Chain A
Amino acid sequence: GAVVSQHPSWVICKSGTSVKIECRSLDFQATTMFWYRQFPKQSLMLMATSNEGSKATYEQGVEKDKFLINHASLTLSTLTVTSAHPEDSSFYICSASPALTDHQPQHFGDGTRLSIL
Chain B
Amino acid sequence: AQKITQTQPGMFVQEKEAVTLDCTYDTSDQSYGLFWYKQPSSGEMIFLIYQGSYDEQNATEGRYSLNFQKARKSANLVISASQLGDSAMYFCAMRVKGAQKLVFGQGTRLTINP
User: Which residues of A are interface residues toward B (Cβ below 8 A)?
Assistant: 32, 34, 41-44, 46, 49, 91, 93, 95, 100, 102-103, 105-111, 113
Contact = CB atoms under 8 A, between A and B. Distances in A.
A7 to B, nearest CB: 13
Interface string B29-58: 001110101000011110100101000000
A39 to B, nearest CB: 12
Interface residues of B, number: 23
Contacts, number: 52
B106 interface: yes
A92 B31 CA distance: 30
Contact of B35 (A44, A93, A105): A105
Contact of B45 (A41, A42, A95): A95
Nearest to A113: B43
A40 to B, nearest CB: 11
Interface of B: 31-33, 35, 37, 42-45, 47, 50, 52, 91, 95, 97, 100-102, 104-107, 109
Contacts of A102: 31-33, 52, 95, 97
